[in-house]
Chain A
Amino acid sequence: MISLPAPKPDILARRDAILADLGRLLPADAVIGETIRMKPYETDGLAAYRQMPLAVVLPRTTQEVAQVLRYCHANGIRVVPRGAGTSLSGGALPLADAVVIGLMRMNRIKEINLEDRYAVVEAGVTNIGITKAVEGDGFFYAPDPSSQLACMIGGNVMMNSGGAHCLKYGVTANNLLGLTFVTIEGEVIEIGGNYLDAAGYDWLGLITGSEGQLGMVTDVTVRILRGPEGARAMLAAFDAVEVAGAAVDAIIGSGIIPVALEFMDKPCIHACEAFAHAGYPLDAEAMLIIEVEGSVAEQDMLLGKIRDICARFNPTSMKLAESAEQSLAIWKGRKGAFGAVGRISPDYLCMDGTIPTGELPHVLKRIGEMSVQYGLGVANVFHAGDGNLHPLIMFDANDPESFRKAEEFGGDILKLCVEVGGCLTGEHGVGVEKRDLMTTQFTLRELDLQRAIKSAFDADWLLNTAKVFPLADNPKIAA
């Protein structure tokens, strides 16, 4: 179980006065204090943990965000930034003595410039909302986390989100040009702009993925890209995990960088097929979904090369989409993977470790052994090009013992990832979930350095307190 720091009693005692102050800073409808109305904010995508906040505010402008932060800073009140609440690591989990600052009302698209290929959007615009605004002209915003229908760009910046297509197009950090950034002291700072390389320290890179530890982002300038002429997927199934892994190596070794390269193991194939009826091969031990881009002729050429490579590894089956519809069908199962596993298990924990791809057979074998040891099922789906694993550990939330085992199993998987040269999180973030595992990846001194940088931005540790960094031995939080 994950512990949260003790709430500051003086803050709790002043709750009514704080609500009244916030009500003077913001329009009346932007401050929420009633328990029933705060209910939707008590958890995020890591729904096993819930905590009612002190208050929720929903500002509409950068200035309103700055006012709230200035007020909280002056009064020693903790702050939890929140986008759409899709974080899977508890990044937006409230604290009892914290004000949740929700960005969902900051949802305007402020500028689209196709000639210079950028868009300026408020932090509460959804990821898909950016693409929707430019796709009529053939453009798109590249990072595509699975939650892209719901998640907000401000949250994407905080988590440095990626998705199936980031093998080619990169993650959020690689697709940003500028930010409007508000410090805990309420200072509004413009970072970068509408151009490629700002001179000086790379604040954009440091803030991206900082999980709300350094400040809040209110406006984001993103690169938008012209989409390819078309894209098409294929699937290839193999009778052993190692063989599928070797096929991935051979594809990349041939000089082809597919726009997506996804890997599913047998339990995942079965769960997805039962859900999506995508025609997945139920006899296979592992399956790859590979997508390429270009004109129809180029797609044919690339899929042909990939088919020939896969053929060298005795696939149990291969299926090349012949149309956009068939591609969609192949993707439907993958995109529904998390929901599909939800159908066959009352609950699951979605892990997010990254490993060097060469370690894949070893890691999957060990996960299989641990599954037996813990008596819990696990389905694996991941981005094969970049080694980002998503083991889905199945458990029953009504059984505390089952939940405890699932968390322990998850921790063991993440430690294994670090042991083989990988890391604790590829895209979901550390949040509260992996906070106490940070010492497996970093030395205490390395953590101290990161904490010192956090302190350079937020001396009193009011921003998203108790996330990312272990609570133990942290004088800034112990109080």
Chain B
Amino acid sequence: MTRPEGQGAEGLGELMGAGSIAPATEESLAAEITRAHAAREPLCIEGRGTKRAMLRPVQAARTLSTRNLTGITLYRPTELMIRARAGTPLPEIEAALAENNQQIIAEPPDLTAMFGASEAGTLGGAVSANLSGPRRIMWGAMRDHVLGIRAVTGEGEVFRSGGRVLKNVTGLDLCKLLTGAHGTLGVLTEVTLKVLPRAEATGTLAIRVPDAAGGVAALSAALGSPYGVSGAALLIEGHGLLGLEGIIALARIEDFTESVRYRLGRLRTELAAHGEATLLDTAASHAVWRSVRDAEPLGATPEEAIWRISVAPSAAPGVVAALGRAFAAKLMLDWGGGLIWVAGPAREQAHGAVMQAAAAAGGSFTLFRGPASLSAHVPVLPEEAAPLAAIARRVRAALDPLGLLNPGRMRG
């Protein structure tokens, strides 16, 4: 995938023209926000700007970047925690963890290709967007592993929440509130993550299934087995992965080598009725799940919009059928069918069909990537009920009274 045409120009032109500030310390970042607050000047908050086309374009003349707040500040492998400044590139953190055979549990996707970025995203960006990959189905989302944060409010005040220990219920959990808030409630300057050991081995069953319903049924059976499936995705026809043809359900096991062998064998027997299975070894598994993580099998072209829909897995085949009828949707399923990746024309009609299909299935949607020509005019997230929207306004006012941080990013 390459950079979506038109998107960069449309979404970024005004920002880049007006310049960008990238302080090297938390203190100077806080001072910049204090200054912006005094001048009532909105700010576009970003790390390396790799996800500018996510959600809605920000209504701000100036950009405040955390890209110069870098470096791992504390790493205690035996305490299963790592702490780094928000602008630290994710690959740098992943490399440090790999040296100790550990990993970021939520397996955040690398969206460099999807967003046409020239460099990898940052820790702060992945947390701000609550980006979780395939392992979310077993081990939880990014937000489940944020142990602590340091952040700056819209008035330029530094605050902490959480800490570095795995269990902490002291006070209100602002870590969760800021995770997934896309920089609209505060600017993350440092994040402490829980980490886990990397499995000794990985193996995957690739099962050829007749259709989406059959695929989701196979994945539900896999996830309802006692073998600890840590990835459950469904590739729709034409994905071209590893020379596998047709509709393919993927079920992953990660564990000690003996366990992986044993569990895949048992799983294969239990799922035999769902379709013919191929076994992928560790190397092939890594390749296939990296591809699923980054939504490559979706095959989105640069000009297409990309949506994510979250539903109960059994509702997924209905969504797939509805979107197939509405427009020539490209689709890919993860999380046992509970996460539906959709690519299609960046037009309001397609967006309306996505919103409708998600609502009909009782689920949630996100316009994950789209040109400003679409995203500036449609709700990119489901509307909140009126009482909750009122609470949201008051919460935002508590952290960013003038609404200067990433205005417009999530909702208009």
CB of B345, distance to nearest CB on chain A (Å): 21
Q: Given the complex of chains A and B, what is the CA–CA distance between A201 and B388 in angstroms? A: 10
User: Contacts A252-B80, A253-B77 given: A226-B223 contact, CB under 8 Å?
Assistant: yes
A165 within 8 A of B: no
Segment among B18-26, B291-299, B305-313 that sits at the interface with chain A: B305-313
Chain B contact residue count (CB 8 A cutoff): 82
User: Contacts A201-B395, A430-B170, A438-B170 given: A195-B144 contact, CB under 8 Å?
Assistant: no
Please name all residues of chain A whose beta carbon is closer than 8 Å to the beta carbon of B387 when the two chains form the complex: 183, 185, 187, 189
A13 within 8 A of B: no
A287 within 8 A of B: no
A252 and B197 contacting across the interface, CB-CB below 8 Å: yes
A115 and B225 contacting across the interface, CB-CB below 8 Å: no
B197 and A195 contacting across the interface, CB-CB below 8 Å: no
CB of A342, distance to nearest CB on chain B (Å): 24
A210 and B172 contacting across the interface, CB-CB below 8 Å: yes
A298 and B258 contacting across the interface, CB-CB below 8 Å: yes
Please name all residues of chain B whose beta carbon is closer than 8 Å to the beta carbon of A201 when the two chains form the complex: 177, 180-181, 185, 392, 395
User: Contacts A189-B385, A298-B262, A423-B163 given: A213-B391 contact, CB under 8 Å?
Assistant: no
The digit string for A384-402, where 1 denotes a CB below 8 A from any CB of B, is 0111100000000000000
* Chain A 102-147 interface residues, beta-carbon cutoff 8 Å to B: 113-118, 138-139
B168 and A423 contacting across the interface, CB-CB below 8 Å: yes
Please name all residues of chain A whose beta carbon is closer than 8 Å to the beta carbon of B161 when the two chains form the complex: 446
Which residue of A has the minimal Cβ distance to B176?
A: A205
Q: Which of B79, B170, B397 contacts A441 (CB 8 A)?
A: B170
A67 within 8 A of B: no
CB of B197, distance to nearest CB on chain A (Å): 4
Q: Chain A contact residues: over half helix, strand or loop, or mixed?
A: loop
The digit string for B72-96, where 1 denotes a CB below 8 A from any CB of A, is 0000111111000000000000000
B164 and A356 contacting across the interface, CB-CB below 8 Å: yes
Q: Given the complex of chains A and B, what is the CA–CA distance between A210 and B173 in angstroms? A: 8
Q: Which of A430, A450, A468 contacts B174 (CB 8 A)?
A: A450
Segment among B57-65, B115-123, B204-212, B363-371 that sits at the interface with chain A: B363-371
Chain A contact residue count (CB 8 A cutoff): 96
Please name all residues of chain A whose beta carbon is closer than 8 Å to the beta carbon of B395 when the two chains form the complex: 201, 453, 456
Q: Given the complex of chains A and B, what is the CA–CA distance between A368 and B153 in angstroms? A: 41
CB of A89, distance to nearest CB on chain B (Å): 9
B398 within 8 A of A: yes
Segment among B35-43, B135-143, B275-283, B325-333 that sits at the interface with chain A: B135-143
B174 and A385 contacting across the interface, CB-CB below 8 Å: no
A358 and B167 contacting across the interface, CB-CB below 8 Å: no
User: Contacts A196-B141, A456-B398 given: A442-B171 contact, CB under 8 Å?
Assistant: yes
The digit string for A261-299, where 1 denotes a CB below 8 A from any CB of B, is 000000000000000000000000000000000110110
Which residue of B has the minimal Cβ distance to A294?
A: B259
B228 within 8 A of A: yes
Segment among A56-64, A76-84, A170-178, A313-321 that sits at the interface with chain B: A170-178
Q: Given the complex of chains A and B, what is the CA–CA distance between A388 and B170 in angstroms? A: 13
* Chain A 197-236 interface residues, beta-carbon cutoff 8 Å to B: 197-206, 208-210, 213, 226-229
A162 and B167 contacting across the interface, CB-CB below 8 Å: yes
Please name all residues of chain A whose beta carbon is closer than 8 Å to the beta carbon of B185 when the two chains form the complex: 201
Q: Which of A227, A424, A456 has the most chain B CB atoms closer than 10 A to its own CB?
A: A456
CB of B160, distance to nearest CB on chain A (Å): 6
User: Contacts A114-B224, A197-B310, A423-B170 given: A449-B76 contact, CB under 8 Å?
Assistant: no
Please name all residues of chain B whose beta carbon is closer than 8 Å to the beta carbon of A148 when the two chains form the complex: none
What are 12 A-B interface contacts by the 8 Å CB criterion? A116-B220, A183-B387, A197-B364, A213-B172, A252-B197, A255-B200, A294-B259, A386-B165, A430-B169, A441-B171, A445-B157, A450-B171
Q: Closest 10 CB pairs between A and B?
A: A205-B176, A456-B394, A452-B398, A426-B167, A187-B387, A386-B166, A255-B197, A249-B78, A116-B312, A354-B165
